[in-house]
A = this chain, B = another copy of it.
Amino acid sequence: MNKLFSKALVAIVFIFVFNAADSQNKIVVFQSDFGLKDGAVSAMKGVAMGVSPDLKLYDLTHEIPAFNIWEAAYRLEQTVPYWPEGTVFVSVVDPGVGTDRKSVVLKTKTGKFIVTPDNGTLTLIAQSQGIAEIREIDEALNRRKGSQGSYTFHGRDVYAYTAARLAAGAITFEQVGKQLPDSVVSIPYQKATIEGNKLKGNISILDVQYGNVWTNIPADLFKQLNPTFGDTLLITIFHSGKKVYNSKAPYAETFAAVPTGKPLCYLNSLMQLSLALNMGNFAAKYKIASGSEWSLEAVLIKKK
């Protein structure tokens, strides 16, 4: 009796522990360029709920500009670090659907999974989070039943389905498919560098809601210039190598440190050098965009 009861308790405890011990955590986060006006995102989530109603489905964004792989890469870079270990991300920005681009799952060294076409989407996250292992999705096994005749919605039939099964523990990471070499398709861009008192970097993204300009120059590099609040930066912006903006802006702790409508440099929430207008839209005013073809130089001028 005592033994039977213990076994029951063990069984109950096992259920809880087993859930907790999964390397995946039942969370799936979706990103795409589908927008939210049609049913595509909802169909992906329906497929995931069909795999397991215990999954927790969230969104990164579905407003990636159509076919903009660079921005998909950047949004992952911006967001993945803040989700817990074991989270499975699905990113579907896939202009090459139907071509021979590979469908993969990247496991990062930080224990997160990204399910995506390997078309440049992993450019930034593979560098920053590190590649633990990459596997190619074996579509013979990992494809929604009954979807073999569909040519164009891999997001639903392969990516969402595989991500849900991985997150729910229906398949192990190994069962995704065969392991690939530890490298991903990468988009070239200006890396962050320092020479003397000059920083160079890429305009990796706009903070679209406010029109702020975010670079890939990290606080660590910037701080090698020993900046203090109130110092001035001489900023030059290039599009495909051509100069399109040149002006000074103070390094400020808060937006309110400069008058309304004036430019400032600051460290954004990702601790990267950024440009803004206090209560205004820098990108719109100066026609600045972002992507691999946009770069920036910043020279520090110490206050007297």
Contacts and interface: CB of A to CB of B under 8 A. Distances in A.
Given A82-B43, A152-B269, A254 B58 contact: no
A35 B208 contact: yes
Given A47-B82, A87-B49, A96-B256, A219 B35 contact: no
A4 interface: yes
Given A37-B208, A98-B254, A256-B99, A42 B58 contact: yes
Contacts of A283: none
Given A39-B60, A79-B43, A150 B269 contact: yes
Interface string A176-220: 000000000000000000000000000001011110000000010
Contacts of A174: none
A156 to B, nearest CB: 7
Contacts of A25: 53
Contacts of A267: 149-152
A60 B44 CA distance: 10
Contact of A66 (B2, B46, B209, B266): B209
A36 B58 CA distance: 12
Copies in the complex: 3
Nearest to A155: B269
A209 B35 contact: yes
B5 A29 contact: no
A221 to B, nearest CB: 14
A239 interface: no
B59 A42 contact: yes
A271 interface: yes
Given A38-B207, A82-B156, A266-B151, A45 B58 contact: yes
A220 B291 CA distance: 43
A97 B56 CA distance: 32
A222 to B, nearest CB: 12
Contact of A87 (B46, B75, B268): B46
Interface in A94-152: 95-99, 149-152
B253 A151 contact: yes
B46 A83 contact: yes
Contacts of A27: 49, 53
A57 interface: yes
A91 to B, nearest CB: 12
A238 interface: no
Interface in A9-28: 9, 12, 25-27
A152 B267 CA distance: 8
A63 to B, nearest CB: 4
Nearest to A86: B53
Residue among A5, A266, A269 with the highest chain B CB neighbour number at 10 A? A269
